[in-house]
């Protein structure tokens, strides 16, 4: 089966009725670009930069970050590289020896909240990202946004980082797009506002499910309740897709849902045109797309979205996946 899949490595991911889907890779360290390229991905949809900051006592400085980001940007040879700013806290701690004192780290000072509280970290990361943008097609992604004030503060710091580079005559891409993760229910419900103020959206379903269903994603005791097909989750995804369409902004899914072949047809039927996943899943997701007819999926997805009962959704998903076209 793996050999058969290899044959579609350079085939474009297009449905039977001609709808193209971009399949991108999630990476965690610069060397992952090798797997990303080998997978046939058309770019990096999520580079989780926190791995550069974890398991060490000193933060990486601007130069060290620049070199890592530049390596990825260059290696992808003009394909898009979406680099997420530091998403630290909760399940990703900086120093494993440090005792976590937050009562509930998942609801605490993590990701963009942390970076806004430590603006020097944001500043050096923005400078490193902007410098790397000179060497490839870099896009910047902000994690865990929950309100517009955070976004505006972030953009202000971003503008300051640009200005500091301009003053030093250091080259960067003036047009580098800035996108936001939709992974807090508040951001999905308010996706209209975020779609207006951002260049693109990316749905982090891992956290979106966690926060919508109040299920700790790392707690085995409640893992059976962690369900991407919960109607509330599907509706939040739908609202985000609709908001992005309204303002003509690209939207992707970069959580685990994107790489689950049981969910590919549903997501495409809901209007998703960009999926970013672990490189190992790219070919099987592509195979699923090559055997799908988008207009059939869209009809089925509408039906699934109209249901409030998970027990009725499950059989329809099975049916959707069982049909060849």
Q: Which residues bind ligand PEP (CB under 6 A)?
A: 46, 48, 87, 183, 204-207, 254-255
Q: How far apart are CA 173 and CA 52, in angstroms?
A: 23
Question: What is the spatial distance between Cα 137 and Cα 47, in angstroms, rounded to a whole number?
Answer: 13
Residue 15 or 205: the one with the smaller Cβ distance to ligand PEP is 205
* Shortest Cβ 211–ligand PEP spacing (Å): 9
Burial of 232 (0-12, 13-18, 19+ CB in 10 A): middle
Query: 254 contacts which partner out of Mg ion, ligand PEP, none, CB within 5 to 8 A by kind?
Result: ligand PEP
How many Å separate Cα 205 from the centre of its chain?
8
Residue 323 CB, nearest distance to ligand PEP (Å)? 28
Q: HSE, CB side, 13 Å, CA atoms: give it for residue 186.
A: 6
Q: Record the tokens describing residue 210, joined without a space.
A: 């966690």
Q: 235 near 304, Cβ under 8 Å?
A: no
Interacting residues of 35 by C-beta distance below 8 A, sequence separation 6+: 25, 27, 279, 280
The stretch near Mg ion (CB under 5 A) out of 162-170, 187-195, 203-211, 301-309 is 203-211
Q: Which does 285 bind (CB under 5 to 8 A by kind): ligand PEP, Mg ion, none?
A: none
19 versus 208: smaller Cβ distance to ligand PEP: 208
> Among ligand PEP, Mg ion, none, what does residue 48 contact (CB within 5–8 Å per kind)?
ligand PEP
When asked if residue 204 is in the footprint of Mg ion (CB under 5 A), the reply is yes
The residue among 134 and 273 lying less far from ligand PEP, judged by its C-beta, is 273
Q: Which of 32, 150, 207, 260 binds Mg ion (CB under 5 A)?
A: 207
Total residues interacting with Mg ion, rule: CB under 5 A: 3
Burial state string for 90-129 with b = 16 or more CB within 10 A and e = fewer than 16: bebbbeeeeeeeeeeebeeebbbbbbbeeeebbbbbbbbb
Least gap, CB of 306 to Mg ion (angstroms):
28
Instruction: For the CB of residue 204, give the shortest distance to Mg ion in the complex, in Å.
Output: 4
Nearer to ligand PEP, 207 or 294 (CB): 207
Q: Between the CA of residue 54 and those of 32, 50, 193, what are the distances in Å?
A: 17, 6, 33
Q: Look at residue 281 and give its three-state secondary structure.
A: helix
Q: How far is the CB of 48 from ligand PEP (least distance, A)?
A: 5
Contact of residue 88 among ligand PEP, Mg ion, none (CB under 5-8 Å per partner type): none
Residues 78-117 that bind Mg ion (CB under 5 A): none
| Residues at the interface with Mg ion (CB under 5 A) | 183, 204, 207
């Amino acid at each position: 089966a793996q050999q058969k899949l290899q044959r579609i490595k350079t085939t474009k991911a297009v449905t039977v009725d001609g709808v193209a889907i971009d399949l991108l890779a999630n990476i965690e360290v610069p060397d992952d670009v090798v797997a990303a390229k080998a997978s046939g991905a058309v770019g990096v949809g999520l580079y989780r930069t926190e791995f550069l900051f974890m398991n060490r006592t000193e933060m990486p400085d601007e130069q060290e970050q620049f070199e890592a980001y530049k390596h990825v940007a260059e290696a992808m040879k003009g394909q898009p590289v979406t680099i997420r700013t530091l998403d630290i806290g909760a399940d990703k701690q900086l120093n494993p020896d440090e005792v976590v004192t937050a009562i509930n780290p998942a609801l605490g000072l993590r990701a963009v909240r942390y970076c806004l509280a430590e603006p020097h970290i944001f500043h050096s990361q923005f400078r490193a990202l902007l410098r790397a943008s000179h060497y490839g097609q870099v896009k910047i992604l902000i994690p865990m946004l929950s309100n517009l004030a955070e976004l505006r503060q972030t953009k202000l710091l971003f503008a300051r980082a640009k200005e500091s580079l301009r003053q030093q005559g250091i080259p960067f891409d003036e047009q580098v797009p800035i996108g936001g993760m939709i992974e807090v229910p508040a951001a999905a419900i308010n996706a209209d506002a975020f779609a207006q103020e951002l260049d693109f959206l990316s749905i982090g379903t891992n956290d979106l499910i966690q926060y919508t269903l109040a299920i700790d994603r790392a707690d085995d005791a409640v893992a059976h309740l962690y369900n991407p097909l919960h109607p509330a989750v599907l509706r939040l995804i739908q609202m985000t897709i609709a908001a992005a369409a309204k303002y003509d902004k690209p939207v992707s899914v970069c959580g685990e849902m994107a790489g689950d072949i049981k969910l590919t047809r549903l997501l495409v039927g809901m209007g998703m045109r960009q999926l970013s996943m672990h490189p190992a899943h790219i070919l099987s997701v592509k195979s699923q797309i090559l055997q799908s007819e988008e207009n059939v999926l869209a009809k089925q997805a509408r039906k699934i979205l109209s249901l409030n009962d998970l027990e009725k959704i499950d059989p329809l998903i099975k049916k959707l996946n069982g049909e060849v076209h």
